[in-house]
Chains A and B, each alone.
Chain A
Amino acid sequence: MTERIGVYVCHCGSNIAGMVDVAEVAKWAGEKLASRGVVVARDYKFMCSSTGQEIIQKDIKELGLTRVVVAACSPHLHEPTFRTACERAGLNPYLCEMVSIREQVSWVHTDKAAATEKSKAMIAGGVERVIYNEPLEPLRVPINPNTLVVGGGIAGIQAALEIADQGTHVYLVEREPSIGGHMAQFDKTFPTLDCSACILTPKMVQVGNHPNITLLSYSEVTNVDGYVGNFTVTVKKKARYVNTDLCNGCGLCQEKCPKKVIDTVFEAGLGYRKAIYRPFPQAVPKYPVIDRENCTFFQKGTCKACQKFCPTGAIDFNQKDEYITLQVGNCILATGYDVFDARRISQYGYGRLANVFTSLEFERLSNAAGPTGGKIVLRDGVTVPQTVGIIHCVGSRDKHYNNYCSVICCMQSLKFAHLVKERTGATVYNFYMDMRTAYKDYDEFYQRVLEEGTLFVRGRVAEVTDAARLPGEEGKLIIQVEDTFIGKQRRIPVDMVILSVGLEPRRDAKELGKLFGISCAAAGWFIERHPKLDPVATMTEGIFIAGACQGPKDIPASVAQGAAAAARVVGKIQQKEISIEPIRASIDKERCSACRICNNLCPFKAIRFVEATENEPAYSEVNPALCQGCGTCVAACPSGAIHGTAFSTQQIIAQIDGLTSLKPGGDGHGARVEAEPVPA
């Protein structure tokens, strides 16, 4: 055995030492693993402290260590710390191996003797494994300074502006004809009640005019290739049928178009638009689009009213979808959310009972630019409600639909209560499970609404019905609810019901995630790299997420994330090049049978198939810059042709041998059997 190995056992205060006899483990390793090359084994209170690291560095220099094993927390936390420590002492950082005796031992066991034994076994595994570690050099790739932002809601707008202001170029891709997202649909924002459009539109205008932003509205990303620093993105620019070089945005076409359509997107189904339309007056860009499905000319071949009246001749019925290719270094996904489909809870009667509205419908109803000019009325368009019931948690915190809390609904419902009271003087009931008014000035707003006289009933609403039974219920919607404070069933007749529907991941979030090589959690939200410490990065280098696509979020949180993602991207751009972990798979061409099993399994699209030529049979090959070293292909390859750096078969088998070298139920004094020679 030529390697000289140092073993370091961390107490982590009492985190590990409380459940594992660390001194005993270190002593055991020093004695019993000496035959495997261990020349020194120490325990220390905090290995990650400067002093702890210095101990390792001193040993490397003085004892000539060639391998280091640190038994401490999970490598997710301190692997970089110890690798850097080794590097400072002149040892290749990849010759340092971590053994997790905190997350995998002390935190999950209650029997100290057994935990101590398990720690020994795991250290034995780490020692066997580290023998086969290879010195590696990190890969360095240049970073393209351009950035792609997907989604033109408030999070995407914020991210785009931050990056563009700093001086590099941004491509902002938006699916709808205008940027603005959900925020553009709202009337007021909680808790300050400032006008949503008034604070949003200046930012939209800035995006439209910014020299560093290319705005691609009415467009969708269709393909993403490449890797951090060097992505090639294909964007489909849907045909607008309006020549944007000529159009001056006068809106005459919209006025003259004879075809009226229910606007299910911007007006949430509560208002109409034309077949040629701009979703709202402050839209950015100002150019309208023709909705081909509903356009009389496209469907019947005659009409062309818009073309006849257009003063600049901008209407072009022959426009085709256009595909453009962008080169970018980083991508930010800020694709937002969809609202829960209230029809799924049939007992609330949405779609059946006319005066049941969703929260998004109510936003339009109360919006001064909305279909009623901000008048809060029933679906007949004239009657002002005298009693309004607002139901919280519709589709949220419910095991039948979504388990999670949608975060915004409590505050949104309070805002509605305030607006209804202010504009109609109606009696307002809120039906809630728990009031969640965390964050700055939110609870103060709750108290204000309480003082305004809004009534609160704690209980899950059982049903909304028009089946009148008791006096005073005729012609009303009756909300049947258990008032859990008084422990009684109540029937509350109201004129209008507002369902505060929850937020859901975009219907196509999974496909989009696949396109960019990132994944969605069980509920469908994009997964961040770390829920607390790295909330806007993802497991794929160069892909960031911001806003509600990562989880339900209100406007302040979305803006913060947009800015955070931008800061991360700017930081990357300023590095000019990036070093990537050299933990990669590689394929032995000679042994590859060209079966292509690995091609589709690779979650990062890193494996390319090379067709057979005259001189050479076909084979698959790994692009090391794309590969994230997950090991899926290594395990799947039927010919054993794929080698995972830092996770070689040799290393894994050696580690298992180490792990199993202790007799179960041993006396704790290293009943180590001599390991069989590891098969190469």
Chain B
Amino acid sequence: MRYSVFPGCSLEKGAIGYPYWQSIEAILPHLGIELVEVDDWNCCGATEYIALNRMAAYALVARTLALAAKTDGLREMVAPCSACYLNLSKADTYLTQDSVLAEKVNRALAAGGLHYHPGSVKTRHLLDVIVNDVGYKAIAQKVTKPLTGLRIAPYYGCLIGRPAFYGQIDDPEYPVTLDKLLRVLGAEVVDYPVKAHCCGGHMTQISEATAFDLIRRLIKSAADTQADLIVTVCPMCQMNLDGFQNAMNRYFKTDYRIPVLYFTQMIGLAFGESARALGIGAEIVDARPALSRIGVEVPPVEEARPARRARRPKEALPMPVMPEEEEEVEL
């Protein structure tokens, strides 16, 4: 499986999302994925630019798309960051629908000797590629050190499922793909009710009070469900939840310590990669106490006994029957 890749600014060396990139590079060979970096790519415009100057924002994205179209003839481009994924797919969709816009944008691109045919490069989120192209089965076969005993809150953020310019890759309000993936890796996945809520985005720069409240909701809910850690699919979510957790604690006089890691780091751990190779240790809220449960001290091969479920009282009414229960993937 070969794709071009748009790492985005936050995954650059030295940037806060660099561990994400490290872990991606570490697991690619296991997954049989080859990524070809788009040469000379530029910023996607993040979440704000489109609100300031639309034309320029579309042109900015179109430049990257035009360059991607020239990358080895690859028609699908992977974006590991949810914001990049949204911007790229959004601009491409609008350019496809609006020929006048496409023409204007191409006039701008012509200044740099570029041209983009709308629709010629499809941007996909890394999570989508991993669960749908590689598949749970293939991943399950590669697991050597299952994450047994780790309680994880799967956090998707708001950008990956909404508004789905290329069609829905998961339920926008209550996504489940990451849950399934983490279960395949052996972890215990908690029902995380705020999994698709906003992390605050760049509100940390504009209105701390707003951002901290949003961050607290996510952290508190994870703590309420007794999760050992939060796993995310987006560097901005990771930064807000991890980097601003202490500031949020100070603001609300709370004392949460929930580490936030990337899903690729979890895949790497389950595949037997070392924490160092996966960039673990760079996070601000220390993940070591949580990971020690599955790390050196506990031999991971032994399967933990499933927790005994509380007996339902005799009078209890049955839960709604769910005929289309998701099929469990065998490890």
Contacts and interface: CB of A to CB of B under 8 A. Distances in A.
Interface of A: 262, 264, 269-272, 343, 345-347, 349-352, 354, 358, 361, 365, 371-372, 377, 379-382, 463, 465-469
A347 B174 contact: yes
B318 A346 contact: no
What are the 5 A-B residue pairs with the smallest beta carbon separation, nearest first?
A: A381-B315, A346-B174, A347-B173, A467-B193, A467-B221
B270 interface: no
Interface in B317-331: 317-322
A350 B174 CA distance: 11
Given A269-B321, A352-B191, A380 B316 contact: yes
9 contacts: A347-B173, A349-B193, A371-B317, A379-B316, A381-B316, A382-B313, A466-B193, A467-B193, A467-B220
Contacts of B322: 343, 351
Interface in B181-236: 191, 193-194, 216-217, 220-221, 224
Contacts of B319: 351, 354, 379
A350 B191 CA distance: 13
Nearest to A381: B315
Given A346-B173, A463-B173, A381 B217 contact: no
- Interface residue SS majority, chain B: loop
A331 B114 CA distance: 67
Nearest to A345: B173
Contacts of A380: 313, 315-317
A351 B320 contact: yes
Given A346-B173, A467-B193, A381 B317 contact: yes
A196 B237 CA distance: 53
B48 to A, nearest CB: 23
A370 B253 CA distance: 50
Nearest to A468: B224
Interface in B157-194: 171, 173-174, 191, 193-194
A466 B194 CA distance: 9
B315 A382 contact: yes
Given A354-B319, A466-B193, A469-B221, 17 more contacts: A262-B321, A269-B318, A270-B318, A343-B320, A346-B173, A347-B174, A351-B320, A351-B322, A361-B320, A371-B317, A377-B317, A379-B317, A381-B315, A381-B316, A382-B313, A465-B193, A469-B217
Nearest to A262: B318
Nearest to B322: A351
A467 B224 CA distance: 8
B183 to A, nearest CB: 16
A352 B190 CA distance: 12
B315 A346 contact: no
Contact of B171 (A264, A346, A382, A467): A346
A96 B216 CA distance: 78
Contacts of B194: 465, 467
Contact of B317 (A372, A463, A466): A372
Nearest to A478: B193
A361 B216 CA distance: 35
Contacts of A465: 193-194
A467 B217 contact: yes
B318 A272 contact: yes
A225 B221 CA distance: 61
Nearest to A370: B317
Nearest to A365: B317
A466 B221 CA distance: 9
Interface string B113-135: 00000000000000000000000
Nearest to B314: A381
A262 B320 CA distance: 10
Nearest to B195: A467
A179 to B, nearest CB: 24
